[in-house]
Structure 1
Amino acid sequence: MSGVTLTKAIKRYGDVQVIHGVDLEIEHGEFCVFVGPSGCGKSTLLRMIAGLEETTEGTIQIGARDVTKADPADRGVAMVFQTYALYPHMTVEENMGFGLKMNGVPKAEVAEKVGRAAEILQLGDYMRRKPKALSGGQRQRVAIGRAITRGPEVFLFDEPLSNLDAELRVDMRVEIARLHKELDATMIYVTHDQVEAMTLADKIVVLRAGRIEQVGSPMDLYQDPDNKFVAGFIGSPSMNFVNGTAAGGKVTLPALGGKVIETPVALPDGPVTVGLRPQNLVLAADDRSPVEVDISERLGGVAYDYLTTPTGEKIVVETKGDEVQPAGTRVSIDFDPQTAMFFDPDTEARLR
């Protein structure tokens, strides 16, 4: 079994603490994605697991082994970097087999493992080429192939698709998902792109400022976030947040022209932040409404209306591509109160 367990993991650089007592369990065979904004500690945490960053306090286990102080080469992990890190003077075949060769693995075994990796990643036609003759997606597949040949217990991916264009990112995302299914390996993947996280992960770990905000399956985090940060980070377009005032089981929303909704949950009287998914909002032309369409974007099957409200809060509404409202149109906004989420404006905790 090759799961990964972090217990009260802490990382300090001098007096500055960047990882704050992280507890996390990743099961064998899981595809776990670390997400969060830049500087949240996701790459640092990955490098701690790899052994490229020293763990200041706490423990890291891979399977039954405590690897907290182990050298990177002895941890049974293989890492795929954002920058490919290929040797430019070597062919694809030589790049993929170099680590095995340096470890004294017999030539026949190296050839077998490289051939197997090339078959999995469909690189057979490129084995004699050097990296400069490959596309970005092909170079990343070579980097992944080099990791596969090592036969690691855990694969670590540090934003591996960041340097690819949009179409290649989609292709490689599918490739990595297929690879995970075929290898049945434990994979930990770092990204700032929540679309990658939603489509690849069995488990998502949302990080902010070196702390875990929430852990769960993609749909658990989307449908049942614990706080405003997670609610806004998971989902595309992001959740809209508007200020409201709760009183007597109802909430008044000044941003929507004073619209009043019944609350499906018991709320204390006073200020409240209301979260509204763009997909759950319905627009209708209404000359009396203070809400106005600022910009509309048509993307084919879907469209996005960007609204200006009388309170200055911005709202995005997702509609079908042929239902877009022209810029300047005054609109009313309707939604099922059951789809709204409510948050404490001070602590940002979800109010359930």
Structure 2
Amino acid sequence: MSGVTLSKAVKQYGDVQVIHGVDLQIDHGEFCVFVGPSGCGKSTLLRMIAGLEETTDGTIEIGKRDVTKVDPAERGVAMVFQTYALYPHMTVEENMGFGLKMNGHPKAEISEKVGEAARILKLDPYLKRKPKALSGGQRQRVAIGRAIVRGPEVFLFDEPLSNLDAELRVDMRVEIARLHKDIGATMIYVTHDQVEAMTLADKIVVLRAGKIEQVGSPMQLYSDPDNKFVAGFIGSPSMNFVEGLAEEGAVSVPAFDGTKVSTSVALPAAGQKVLVGLRPQHLLIEPASEGAKVDLSEQLGGVAYSYLVCPTGERVIVETKGEDVPVSDGTVSVTFDPANAFFFDANTEQRLR
């Protein structure tokens, strides 16, 4: 079994600690995505698993084997980088089989493994081509194929789609999801794009400043975030946050004409500030003589986004369906179903439950 276990993993560069005692269990066959803003430590953590970064403290196990101090080549992992790193003078077939050739594998075995990888990735027609004759998406498939032929226990992807245009990114997301389904290997994938995380992952690990904020399935993180950071990071467009004031069993929301939201969550003392989180699709708007001002509306076809400025100065985004989009500089009233509201401590930003 080729699961991955991190126990109190730490990474320091001199006096600067960038990974802070991470504990994580990735089961065999899981597609796990590390997601978070730039500088959160997701690529560093992946490189620690690969052995490309030394682990300062703690342990890393792959398939129940402690690999913390093991050479990268002996860890049973294969890494796909953001850059394709293909040899320009070699054909697709030669690029994919080069690692096996250098390790002295027989030609027949190399040919068989390259052929199988090419079949999985639909690269059969391109085996005799050189990288310059391929599109960006095809080159990335070759890089993935090079990893497949090694037969690793764990695949590691470090933002592999960042260099592709929007359409190719969608195509390659589908390709990688299909690859995981076909071969069933453990995969760990790093991205800053939460859409990639939501569409690919069995398990998402949300990182911030070298620490894990929350681990769960895409829908667990979307529907039950532990804190404001996770709530705002998972979901597109991001969740709206406005200030509320705690009352007895309710929260009043000045941004929405003082609307009172009854709730059973444990609130702070009356009069204390509470952050109220609402997703754009959960806000309802109607033309009104008073209320929030429509700063801008974007019509994207079947869906539209309206950017509102509330009387309090707070800004929110509202998602609407169809063609009935409020005009810029218009005024609207804003309502919502209290069942869709999330509440967060204004100081710690932790979810109130």
The TM-score range, normalised by the shorter chain, is: over 0.9
Instruction: Please report how far the alpha carbon of residue 280 of structure 1 lies from its aligned counterpart in structure 2 after TM superposition.
Output: 0.6
CA distance in 1, matches of 2:176, 2:144: 9
SS at structure 2 position matched to 1:350: coil
Written as runs of structure 1 = structure 2, the 5 A alignment for 1:13-52 is 13-52=13-52
CA distance in 2, matches of 1:63, 1:119: 28
CA distance in 2, matches of 1:76, 1:112: 20
The answer to whether residue 268 in structure 2 is matched with residue 280 in structure 1 is no
Higher mean displacement: 110-119 or 260-269: 260-269
CA distance in 2, matches of 1:165, 1:262: 46
Instruction: Please report how far the alpha carbon of residue 259 of structure 1 lies from its aligned counterpart in structure 2 after TM superposition.
Output: 2.2
* Number of matched pairs: 351
Give the match for residue 303 of structure 1: 304
Higher mean displacement: 224-233 or 327-336: 327-336
Give the match for residue 135 of structure 1: 135
SS at structure 2 position matched to 1:286: strand
SS at structure 1 position matched to 2:83: coil
The aligned amino acid for 1:284 is E
Identity of aligned residues (%): 77
Instruction: Please report how far the alpha carbon of residue 264 of structure 1 lies from its aligned counterpart in structure 2 after TM superposition.
Output: 4.2
The answer to whether residue 237 in structure 2 is matched with residue 237 in structure 1 is yes
CA distance in 2, matches of 1:327, 1:263: 34
Instruction: Please report how far the alpha carbon of residue 327 of structure 1 lies from its aligned counterpart in structure 2 after TM superposition.
Output: 0.7
Give the match for residue 222 of structure 1: 222
Give the match for residue 164 of structure 1: 164
Written as runs of structure 1 = structure 2, the 5 A alignment for 1:319-338 is 319-338=320-339
CA distance in 1, matches of 2:187, 2:8: 21
Written as runs of structure 1 = structure 2, the 5 A alignment for 1:46-61 is 46-61=46-61
TM-score of the two chains, using structure 1 as the length reference: 0.98
Instruction: Please report how far the alpha carbon of residue 141 of structure 1 lies from its aligned counterpart in structure 2 after TM superposition.
Output: 0.2
The aligned amino acid for 2:298 is E
CA distance in 2, matches of 1:264, 1:92: 61
SS at structure 1 position matched to 2:70: coil
CA distance in 2, matches of 1:68, 1:266: 43
CA distance in 2, matches of 1:9, 1:162: 27
The aligned amino acid for 2:334 is I
CA distance in 2, matches of 1:277, 1:183: 36
Is the Cα contact below 8 Å between 1:264 and 1:338 reproduced in 2?
Answer: no
Instruction: Encode CA deviations 1:292-314: one digit per residue, 9 max, x unaligned.
Output: 11100011111100001122211
SS at structure 2 position matched to 1:99: helix
CA distance in 1, matches of 2:218, 2:173: 16
Give the match for residue 83 of structure 2: 83
Is the Cα contact below 8 Å between 1:264 and 1:337 reproduced in 2?
Answer: no
SS at structure 2 position matched to 1:275: strand
Instruction: Please report how far the alpha carbon of residue 196 of structure 1 lies from its aligned counterpart in structure 2 after TM superposition.
Output: 0.4
Instruction: Encode CA deviations 1:274-328: one digit per residue, 9 max, x unaligned.
Output: 0000011111011122x11110001111110000112221100111131311111
Give the match for residue 294 of structure 2: 293
Is the Cα contact below 8 Å between 2:81 and 2:157 reproduced in 1?
Answer: yes
CA distance in 2, matches of 1:323, 1:62: 54
Is the Cα contact below 8 Å between 2:256 and 2:335 reproduced in 1?
Answer: no
Q: Which consecutive unaligned segments of at least 5 residues does structure 1 have?
A: none
Give the match for residue 93 of structure 1: 93
Is the Cα contact below 8 Å between 1:261 and 1:337 reproduced in 2?
Answer: yes
CA distance in 1, matches of 2:322, 2:290: 25
Give the match for residue 174 of structure 2: 174
CA distance in 1, matches of 2:322, 2:149: 46
CA distance in 2, matches of 1:261, 1:217: 29
Is the Cα contact below 8 Å between 1:303 and 1:318 reproduced in 2?
Answer: yes
Cα RMSD for the two superposed structures: 0.8
Higher mean displacement: 211-220 or 324-333: 324-333
CA distance in 1, matches of 2:156, 2:201: 13
SS at structure 1 position matched to 2:289: coil
The aligned amino acid for 2:309 is T
The answer to whether residue 97 in structure 2 is matched with residue 113 in structure 1 is no
Give the match for residue 6 of structure 2: 6
Give the match for residue 70 of structure 1: 70
Instruction: Encode CA deviations 1:44-71: one digit per residue, 9 max, x unaligned.
Output: 0000000000000000000021000001
Is the Cα contact below 8 Å between 1:33 and 1:205 reproduced in 2?
Answer: yes
Instruction: Please report how far the alpha carbon of residue 195 of structure 1 lies from its aligned counterpart in structure 2 after TM superposition.
Output: 0.4
Q: Which consecutive unaligned segments of at least 5 residues does structure 2 have?
A: none
CA distance in 2, matches of 1:50, 1:117: 22
The aligned amino acid for 1:312 is G
Is the Cα contact below 8 Å between 1:298 and 1:321 reproduced in 2?
Answer: no
